[in-house]
Structure 1
């Protein structure tokens, strides 16, 4: 089933003008669940074996869709459910735009975006670490969490304001928690 899904995606993607396929417009028939999972570190697995080709992960990530609390890979003709432990994406790199001072985030799946009002940030309790961590809405209600290194770098960049740790991305302010 995975190879059929891969073939459908490769056939569809070359003709698309958008950066991401319009999965929100696709409403194919539900075809069941496949043994594809994303762990809490953003690593992708099929039947318990890790994906070894980043291009394949990026391809599948481009057609990921969230409905309520469930995640699906969607093509125009097929919709399959997958398991996601926390969120599907991890922000592994960041930089500042030298002109606007906005933060540019990059995920492990090569999604790149500005930290801004379109890519909102919220603090969520991480039960493993028993602390609140920032999660970023990267697209279509799909969220990413920060890699630990990025989180610590952002803490170093942030400023204290009235007991809160605030990170600025251009004019957009993000709370990283309380002191």
Structure 2
């Protein structure tokens, strides 16, 4: 499925971002229930690098294609690439995606992922804090049970916004409130 990369996030309005999210046609993996499960021999490293048999996958379009088939099974917590014929186990060291850019647009926080997907935080895509106060990590719900970990610069931007907005380290996006304090 061809995919037109979105423009620079800072140049897009919230409406443009919402339309780009809506226009992104993903395979209906939630409707596929293949009987066969095999090992993909793939891994997503903690830094967001996709690897096959230990070697990085260097073509961004290939990573985007694989990412569109990715889901986390709610039963066993494992990650799989799903096709109508089979599901392939994939090891994920931390999070399936990395949030590499953030923009505040009106009452919403929009994020660009390392796969160039756009996600607007809110009730359907909550933010959650994990870790401890000395080494916190913020995660954004993406799709099919998968999350994106905010990279360091994006985390710092979000923390600065939380300090500006409140005394309790919370941010708001689409009327949903999210604490940046690890639970």
The TM-score, its normalising length taken from structure 1, stands at 0.80
Deviation track 1:142-179 (CA, whole Å, cap 9, x = no partner) reads 111101000011111113645x211222432221117x
Instruction: Give distance in 2, aligned partners of 1:161 and 1:147.
Output: 22
Instruction: Give distance in 2, aligned partners of 1:49 and 1:130.
Output: 33
Offset of residue 79 of structure 1: 1.2
Question: Residue 102 of structure 2: SS of its match in structure 1?
Answer: strand
Match of 1:9 in 2: none
Check whether the contact 2:82–2:88 (CA below 8 A) recurs between aligned residues: yes
Check whether the contact 2:123–2:174 (CA below 8 A) recurs between aligned residues: no
Given candidates 137, 146, 158, the residue that maps to 1:133 is 137
- Indicate yes or no: 2:54 matched with 1:48: yes
Instruction: Give distance in 1, aligned partners of 2:174 and 2:80.
Output: 34
Given candidates 115, 128, 137, the residue that maps to 1:122 is 128
- Indicate yes or no: 2:170 matched with 1:166: yes
Check whether the contact 2:38–2:86 (CA below 8 A) recurs between aligned residues: no
Match of 2:95 in 1: 87
The number of aligned residues is 159
- Indicate yes or no: 2:83 matched with 1:75: yes
Match of 1:63 in 2: 69
* Structure number, greater radius of gyration: 1
Given candidates 102, 113, 116, the residue that maps to 1:107 is 113
Question: Residue 61 of structure 2: SS of its match in structure 1?
Answer: helix
Instruction: Give distance in 2, aligned partners of 1:115 and 1:148.
Output: 18
Check whether the contact 2:125–2:140 (CA below 8 A) recurs between aligned residues: yes
The structure in which a higher percent of residues are strand is 1
Select the structure with the greater relative contact order (CA < 8 A; seq sep ≥ 6): 2
Match of 2:153 in 1: 149
RMSD: 2.1
Extract unaligned runs of 5+ from structure 2.
Answer: 3-22
